[in-house]
Amino acid sequence: MAWRSSGASNAALIENLVRNGLITDPRVKQAMLGVDRAHYAPYAPYQDSPQTIGHAATISAPHMHASACESLLPYLKPGARVLDVGSGSGYFTHVLAELVKPGGKVVGVEHIQPLVDIGTANTRKSAEGRELMDNGGIKYVKADGRLGSPEDAPYDAIHVGAAAAGFHQPLIDQLKAPGRLFMPVEENCTQHIYVIDKKEDGSVTRKKDMSVRYVPLTDAPTG
Ligand code: SAH
């Protein structure tokens, strides 16, 4: 399924994701059409696969980004506040920012400074990205994302782009009520997506979803 969605251009890739049922919502389609993956993935940007971006990081596969968008979509309204943990290439931070325009804010947290710089430079390659960087629609922060980013909390939606060793309480604490957290979690050497909802009354539910493979959410490398 994943490989069949590859295309010769950004538009072809997105159309194939729609045709294969991996994008079902027109808002997700629009947002992903609006961000050229070639600005973020240096090698084969229109292939539906993860790719290395250096520093032991990968840009996730387009179908995973589509799936995260579709899951978080009820919370991605114009003006919403969003946290993207492990922002890496910046691609998904930018897609999220397109979905919460106008008036929204996406905070991308990344713990490797060269990747913060790459994400920033990638986002500035397009006029839309530059505008979002300049008007506060996107902000990149160097920090340990396991602690969230308290300065801009609470968030309507939180996406984690690396596999966590557990359910980090600061992320749940920084969710709005209602709000949704989409994160891969590693348990017994296997990873699954968990969708964690905080309801209006503050109660929290967890739903275990598909099996996945992400790079780990770790301590920052030393040296
Ligand atoms: N969403 C990104 C995914 C990059 S891979 C993209 O599609 O481009 C996962 C990223 O999480 C890597 O960039 C890695 O450096 C970062 N990461 C890992 N542990 C982290 C932590 N504790 N805090 C912040 N970022 C972290």
What's the confidence (pLDDT) of residue 36? 98
With a 6 Å cutoff on the Cβ, whether 217 touches ligand 1 is yes
What is the average pLDDT value for the chain, to the nearest integer? Answer: 96
Handedness of CA 158, 214, 116, 150 (dihedral sign): positive
Q: Average the pLDDT over 102-130 and give the result.
A: 98
Looking at ligand 1, which residue's alpha carbon is closest to its atom 20? 217
Q: Ligand 1 centroid to 104 CA: how many Å?
A: 22
Confidence (pTM)? 0.97
Active site residues: 60
Q: What is the mean pLDDT of residues 30-46?
A: 97
Instruction: Pick from 48, 117, 217, 222 the residue to mutate for probing ligand 1's pocket: most ligand atoms within 8 Å of its CB.
Output: 217
Ligand 1 and 59: CB distance under 6 A: yes
* 162 close to ligand 1 (CB < 6 Angstrom): yes
Measured between alpha carbons, how far is 162 from 185 in angstroms, rounded to an integer? 8
DSSP code string of 152-209:
G--EEEEEE-SBBSS--HHHHHTEEEEEEEEEEEEETTEEEEEEEEE-TTS-EEEEEE
CA of 201 to the centre of ligand 1 (A): 31
- Residue 2 reports pLDDT greater than 80: no
Q: Is the CB of 146 under 6 A from ligand 1?
A: yes
Q: How far apart are CA 221 and CA 215, in angstroms?
A: 14
- Residue 92: its pLDDT value, please? 98
Atom of ligand 1 nearest to the CA of 217: 19
Residue 3 pLDDT greater than 90, yes or no: no
Q: Is the CB of 182 within 6 Å of ligand 1? A: no
**Inter-residue contact 160 to 96 (CB < 8 Å):** no
Instruction: At 147, list the tokens.
Output: 């602690």
| Positive or negative: CA dihedral 19, 23, 25, 30 | negative
